[in-house]
Amino acid sequence: MKNLRLFLFCFSFIGLAACNSGDRTTEQTGVDSAAVAENAGEVNVYTHRHYEADQQLFRQFEEQTGIKVNVVSANADELIQRLEMEGSNSPADVLITVDGGRLWRAKDQGLLSPVQSQTLNSNIPAKFRDADGNWYGLTYRARIIAIDSTKVNASQLQTYQDLASNNLRNQVLVRSSENLYNQSLLAAIIANEGPQAAQQWARGVVQNMARAPKGGDRDQVKAIAAGQGSVALVNSYYIGNMLASDDAAEAEAGRRVKVIFPNQQGRGTHINISGGGVTRYAPNRENAIRFLEYLSSAEAQEIFAQANYEYPVKEGVEWSPILKKWGTFKTDDLSLEELGKRNTEAVTIFDKAGWK
């Protein structure tokens, strides 16, 4: 199976390498319609994201610019490793992935190149982008606490630290410590509170687990609905997608939980991003920049928000009705680079705490 996967992965590289031989205003789309040409070239995108909203945006970019979007999809770590292996021969122009820590790692390994774009800097606030222009956040999500309010009092869960409280024995549902969302949350706790507090927190959560960690974020919400626990750590957009799901059971599970944004009286709720950067050896660099500029435009940001229940990074873009119903919240403005810099320490703390 591993050999087959490697073959398919390499086959997609060969295919991509072969690829290399209504009125809207520029402000709305990030694209100057006058620049659209019949032979505008292409942009090669390595992406970890797998959402229909992204495919829609890629199609719209092609229609508006004439630039062909070639996509290779794979796990983020595989894509980063692939960029390393390909070096200056890489056909990739853009890397898109989730997690500020991963984007920091791609920059740290010299896989991205700095971009100077007034459009990107105007559309994307400084806290959501690399200071040197190596990567730019395109959406963000909150790491929220979901509860069964018939079993747990929301007033007892106002901070992440409350998840380690003794009164939650056998009630907390979480993903594995191998999950990057959990690793980045713990990295943020290390940065904000120190390693000792982070270690105590991880041990407390382990003691409170309702079951051994398993499944994804949606599975934790479904487990609450099934009565297997009463509290879960979940990314906000997963619940948004569950509430809008055509699957009746999934939608009902989403309705069963109350959403809490932790640490509102302190540093704010932990957030993470999806983002992208222009690769170091991008053969179509200008097209890559135009592509990222389009994804930061009001038009694209609204699609991210409405279709996938993510928070737009561009200010003034309307949130989806589901997100608006939850209300505004204070975000933790810790530098997203810290999520990458402290990842190894977070993994070590998880191991010591026995978080499987």
Query: Which CATH number is 116's domain given?
Result: 3.40.190.10
pLDDT at site 151: 95
Dist. CA 318–CA 306, nearest whole Å: 8
pLDDT at site 40: 74
Are residues 251 and 293 both part of a single domain?
no
What letters, b where the CB count within 10 A reaches 16 and e where it falls short, cover 130-156? beebbbbbbbbbbbbbbbbeeebeeee
Are residues 206 and 340 both part of a single domain?
yes
Q: Mean pLDDT of residues grouped by 10 in the chain (356 residues)?
A: 41 44 41 50 96 95 97 95 97 97 97 98 98 98 97 95 97 97 98 98 98 97 97 97 95 96 98 98 98 98 96 97 97 97 98 97
Are residues 207 and 230 both part of a single domain?
yes
Domain tally, the chain: 2
Dist. CA 72–CA 95, nearest whole Å: 10
Are residues 234 and 345 both part of a single domain?
yes
pLDDT at site 5: 41
Are residues 183 and 243 both part of a single domain?
yes
Are residues 158 and 252 both part of a single domain?
yes
Are residues 148 and 88 both part of a single domain?
no
In a domain, 15, yes or no: no
Are residues 57 and 162 both part of a single domain?
no
Are residues 151 and 185 both part of a single domain?
yes
**In one letter, which amino acid is 95?**
L
In a domain, 319, yes or no: yes
Are residues 106 and 148 both part of a single domain?
no
Could you tell me the residue range of the domain that residue 73 belongs to?
42-140+270-326
Are residues 265 and 301 both part of a single domain?
no
pLDDT at site 39: 59
